[in-house]
């Protein structure tokens, strides 16, 4: 049910759309189709207007609707599996810049969060914000020991504003899904739901601080990337304090060249940082637009603003790497099989049809020189094709695609000859070798053995109970079929296997508990225990299957 306030806001939205020449958007829905004659009453129907292209008009309309809609447009620009390319590219230009709120109000919010005066904590606090965005603004300051810091503080009343606009977005999305001809295909309700999760994650500055701390820990003492330190004592859900950083914005190529920074090295480092975060750390900064990246004179990157991060499961990591490597080798059937194996498309998908669709999309890409082939656009095309086969686009893959497009665009802005394939392919091959080779097998086995060892003291009792239950079952079977000699023989064999399995499990447990550090080296003990556990499991399975 739409209340008076929402009805007024909805009226304003439609008015903004009409003012920007988007009357076809308003009147294209079935619910307004009977009112299409109204456009003949609009003054601009009779007086020609010099309007920009449709994607530009959409961007301008979102900017007029306010910061929450700007943020929505930015996130919508990442859904290239849903939007035409020209519209997605234009929405990516949306700037999250809004007028700052009063510095005295920011100071009051900070003091309320800290429970003490700013002057007790800081030697200096600048009431003029360093930066201002739709969700928060940033002020500079200095600690008592002279450390330069920044304090990020959420806008007052921002959560209430977001909830009101989200309620309206859901109303519009439900109407669009019901009455708009492309509503079911574009799934507007699903898009708004993803936006809701993303924007509420950004409202928790403690969560952002935790993201920053984790990435900083992974890149501590790195020559490629620096993450500023979080000051946890003065970080709350609506206030975050971090070390202040100094660097050149990555988009200022002229200044970077004047400092002697190698553009080739900078472009390649950006790619390496991204793939390291995705495959080594499994925790990547998913908002790496130029406004969040700076460069030191040494060529080291500095990254800020960690409200949006992405993670992949181990399976997603492996399938993604295999997909890109198979695409590089033009093995389209393997790409199709990987989508089915990973569950990205339904299990009943015909691999031959999917392979043909992927080939149709991919072959034109290879007509270009290798250095011009885009990783990001390949993923976009791949996801668009998979969508036709009922692929459910998962949020982590959307974030990955968005980040890759950002990194690729940035890298080629810095160094137009950047060859992403040459830079990334050896890294992915090494990662695959580590995962699938002997080292990966041993690492996974070692992790699993330690998990089993935690439960090891219980295994003898569990084995005893299984044996007793099995013995009881066996005696019942022998009583019912005492005359069947062959069955008795099989049952006897099963008993031997079950007892052997229990013995192997107990031996494995004893080796883990008593062996390493006493009469075995740790690695040898683990290996022997694994052999015992595998043998015991095989004997048990064999016995019960034959029974």
Provide the annotated active-site residues: 287
CA torsion sign for 324, 325, 331, 336 is negative
Pair of tokens at residue 272 = 């390496």
Q: Cβ(274)–Cβ(407) under 8 Å?
A: yes
Nearest Cα residue to 472 out of 372, 547, 361: 547
Q: How many CB atoms lie within 10 A of CB 407?
A: 24
Give the separation between CA 300 and CA 306, rounded to whole angstroms. 18
Q: Running DSSP on this structure, what letter comes out for residue 2?
A: -
CA 74 to chain centre: 16
How far is residue 309's CA from residue 96's CA, in Å, rounded to a whole number?
Answer: 18
Q: How far is CA 219 from CA 160, 161, 170, in A?
A: 37, 37, 40
R_g over Cα of the chain: 30
Q: How far apart are CA 546 and CA 491, in angstroms?
A: 8
Pick from 474, 526, 480: which is nearest to 495 by CA?
Answer: 474
Taking the C-alpha atoms of residue 374 and residue 132, their distance in angstroms, rounded to an integer, is: 33
Alpha helices in 343-417 (DSSP H): 351-362, 375-388, 395-414
């Amino acid at each position: 049910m739409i209340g008076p306030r929402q009805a007024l806001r909805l009226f304003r939205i439609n008015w903004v759309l009409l003012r920007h020449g988007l009357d076809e958007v308003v009147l294209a829905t079935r619910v307004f189709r009977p009112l299409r004659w109204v456009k003949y009453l609009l003054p601009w129907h009779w007086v020609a207007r010099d309007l920009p292209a449709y994607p530009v008009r959409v961007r301008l309309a979102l900017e007029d609707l306010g910061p929450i809609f700007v943020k929505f447009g930015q996130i919508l620009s990442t859904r290239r599996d849903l939007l035409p390319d020209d519209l997605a590219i234009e929405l990516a230009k949306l700037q999250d810049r809004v007028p700052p709120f009063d510095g005295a109000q920011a100071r009051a919010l900070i003091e309320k969060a800290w429970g003490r005066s700013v002057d007790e904590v800081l030697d200096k606090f600048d009431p003029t914000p360093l930066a201002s965005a739709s969700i928060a603004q940033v002020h500079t300051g200095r600690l008592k020991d002279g450390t330069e810091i920044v304090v990020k503080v959420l806008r007052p009343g921002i959560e209430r504003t977001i909830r009101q606009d989200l309620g309206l977005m859901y109303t519009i999305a439900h109407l669009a899904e019901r009455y708009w001809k492309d509503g079911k295909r574009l799934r507007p309700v699903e898009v708004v739901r993803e936006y809701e999760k993303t924007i509420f994650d950004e409202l928790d500055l403690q969560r952002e601080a935790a993201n920053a701390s984790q990435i900083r820990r992974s890149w501590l003492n790195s020559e490629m990337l620096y993450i500023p330190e979080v000051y946890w004592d003065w970080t709350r859900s609506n206030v975050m304090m971090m070390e202040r950083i100094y660097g050149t914005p990555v988009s200022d190529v002229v200044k970077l060249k004047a400092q002697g920074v190698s553009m080739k090295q900078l472009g390649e480092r950006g790619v390496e940082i991204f793939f390291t975060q995705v495959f080594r750390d499994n925790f990547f900064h998913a908002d790496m637009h130029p406004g969040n990246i700076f460069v030191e004179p040494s060529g080291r990157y500095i990254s800020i603003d960690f409200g949006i991060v992405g993670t992949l499961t181990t399976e997603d990591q492996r399938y993604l790497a295999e997909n890109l490597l198979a695409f590089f080798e033009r093995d389209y059937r393997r790409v199709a099989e990987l989508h089915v194996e990973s569950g990205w498309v339904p299990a009943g998908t015909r691999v031959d049809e999917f392979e043909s669709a992927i080939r149709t999309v991919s072959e034109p890409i290879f007509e270009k020189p290798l250095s011009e082939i885009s990783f990001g656009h390949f993923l976009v095309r791949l996801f668009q094709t998979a969508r036709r086969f009922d692929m459910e686009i998962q949020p982590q893959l959307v974030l990955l695609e968005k980040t890759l497009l950002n990194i690729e665009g940035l890298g080629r802005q810095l160094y137009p000859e950047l060859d992403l394939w040459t830079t990334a392919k050896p890294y992915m091959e090494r990662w695959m070798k580590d995962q699938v080779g002997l080292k990966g097998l041993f690492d996974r086995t070692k992790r699993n053995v330690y998990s089993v060892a935690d439960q090891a003291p219980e295994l003898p009792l569990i084995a005893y109970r299984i044996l007793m239950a099995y013995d009881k079952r066996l005696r019942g079977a022998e009583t019912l079929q005492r005359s069947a000699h062959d069955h008795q023989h099989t049952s006897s064999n099963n008993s031997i296997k079950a007892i052997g399995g229990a013995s192997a499990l107990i031996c494995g447990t004893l080796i883990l508990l008593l062996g390493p550090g006493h009469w075995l080296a740790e690695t040898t003990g683990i290996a022997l225990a694994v052999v015992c556990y595998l043998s015991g499991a095989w004997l048990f399975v064999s016995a019960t299957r034959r029974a």
